[in-house]
Amino acid sequence: MTAACFAALGHHVTVRDIDAERIAALNDGQSPIYEPGLAELLEKHADRLTYTLSMPRLLTAARIVFVAVGTPPTYSGDADLSSVVAVVDELSAVGPASDHVIVMKSTVPVGTGQRIASALRSRGLTNVSYVSNPEFLREGTAIGDFMDPDRVVIGDFESSAGDQVGALYRPFDCPVVRTTVPSAEMIKYASNAFLATKISFVNEIANVCEEVGADIDVVARGMGLDPRIGSSFLRAGIGYGGSCFPKDVAALKQLAGNSGYHFQLLNAVIEVNELQKRRVITKLKKHLGPLDGKSIALLGLTFKPGTSDMREAASLVLAARLIAEGAQVRAYDPVVGPRAIEPVRGVSVCPSPEATIEDADAAVLVTEWPELVHLDWPRLRPLMRQAVIVDGRNALSPQLMAQAGYVYEGIGRIAEMPADAAENRAAAAAGVEPAT
């Protein structure tokens, strides 16, 4: 994605990956991931994009080297830096002649840049510079986020290296935060941890709303109009997932712990998020009783719409819990197929939403793909055995679902509201941005 966007800005970009399948797909003109607009961008700027498995080829072609390898969590919760280290090791093979600028786009713990810089120096690579340039894009809107950023963060050890990276972002009219490498690294973790906190906070407010008869859509709207709070990430649901929030929150908690600080708030953020996914089970049991032998349809599998990413998707936890309860689980997703849910054994993946909900006792909207939200729900109602809908993303209209004959359960929403209050709530829901 970074490569495609820099190519679109007029740069010649060489992409190196160790995954031969990914490089073959790219050389065949295919995008290796589902990201809206990416395939078109890769095709449009194909003449400025070269794909290779060879690090020497990359290092000959380019001086500025963006590192965007994965940094998944380890069992201890720390970030796994082995791919980052592998890139630096290979770069070292060039020897003292190298004057490359390593730009870290991967999310790495605070202190990583300093460690890499001293490793480079100890190997005699005194002309290699290191810049931290964390990435803030969101999957599903990655190209727009890259091309119209709300900020660019550049941390450097020598300003000349930071200047070279800053020049690449000159076409953008946005604030550029120039800082030290540790501060740049921390900005990324703190941003993701704050957003995750906001999600867990609004989810807890939604849970309390259910206890006291308040409606989270209206509450979130009323909160979000305060500019100190803001309306984004205030839509309650079944929690955050994906490749970034869970691992980055865990890594920050771990980083703090490793430095002797107990980051109490993040423990709660993580725990609330875990419990939130499981509330769906309680809601299903409320209407269906024991789930043993019940047929449950999961609509949407990816961790959010607009992506094929299944990392830390709520669907995985939900499906596994349902199967443990003895339910029969069928699922549908507009983008991913059976392979995506393979880690959970026993889920049947259906070719359409209709086939998924046929004879089901309940359906759970897990991912708010527009084509699922805008299904012809009244027409589908007779297909279901019992028409219980758990809306895990508060994306459906409780009123319309009730009118269509469904038993509707959202997260912290009042299902039956007087008409004027319901209208207010619809306006409120439209004004509150989703939290996925």
Catalog residues that contact ligand NAD under the rule CB under 6 A: 16-19, 22, 68-71, 83, 86-87, 105-107, 135, 137, 139, 243-244
Considering the complex, what minimum distance in angstroms separates the CB of residue 139 from ligand NAD? 4
Q: Identify which of residues 304 and 393 has a Cβ nearer to ligand NAD in the complex.
A: 304
Q: 């820099």: which residue's tokens?
A: 6
- What amino acid occupies position 258? N
Considering the complex, what minimum distance in angstroms separates the CB of residue 317 from ligand NAD? 20
Considering the complex, what minimum distance in angstroms separates the CB of residue 82 from ligand NAD? 8
The catalytically annotated residue of 5, 174, 209, 244 is: 244
What residue is closest to ligand NAD based on CB? 70
Pick the closest to residue 248 from 175, 323, 195, 319 (CA basis). Answer: 195
E-only strand ranges, 246-355: 295-299, 328-332, 347-349
Would residue 174 show up in a list of annotated catalytic residues for this protein? no
Residues 6+ apart with CB under 8 A from 109: 78, 79, 81, 185, 189, 251, 254, 255
Q: Identify which of residues 142 and 362 has a Cβ nearer to ligand NAD in the complex.
A: 142
Q: Identify which of residues 69 and 415 has a Cβ nearer to ligand NAD in the complex.
A: 69
Q: What does 13-70 look like in DSSP terms, one character per residue?
A: EEEE-S-HHHHHHHHTT--SS--TTHHHHHHHTGGGEEEES-HHHHHHH-SEEEE---
Considering the complex, what minimum distance in angstroms separates the CB of residue 4 from ligand NAD? 13
Q: 């939604």: which residue's tokens?
A: 206
Q: Identify which of residues 28 and 420 has a Cβ nearer to ligand NAD in the complex.
A: 28
196 vs 249: CA distance, rounded Å: 8
Considering the complex, what minimum distance in angstroms separates the CB of residue 79 from ligand NAD? 8
68 vs 311: CA distance, rounded Å: 17
Q: Identify which of residues 310 and 329 has a Cβ nearer to ligand NAD in the complex.
A: 310
Pick the closest to residue 3 from 55, 57, 45 (CA basis). Answer: 45
Q: What does 331-381 look like in DSSP terms, one character per residue?
A: EE-SS--GGGGTTSTTEEEPSSHHHHHTT-SEEEE-S--HHHHTS-HHHHG
Q: Identify which of residues 137 and 297 has a Cβ nearer to ligand NAD in the complex.
A: 137
Residues 6+ apart with CB under 8 A from 26: 15, 17, 32, 42, 49, 51
CB atoms within 10 A of CB 302: 28
Considering the complex, what minimum distance in angstroms separates the CB of residue 306 from ligand NAD? 11
Residues 6+ apart with CB under 8 A from 418: none
Residues 6+ apart with CB under 8 A from 207: 276, 279, 411, 412
Considering the complex, what minimum distance in angstroms separates the CB of residue 57 from ligand NAD? 12
Pick the closest to residue 167 from 101, 251, 262 (CA basis). Answer: 101
Q: Identify which of residues 60 and 264 has a Cβ nearer to ligand NAD in the complex.
A: 60
State the catalytic residues: 244
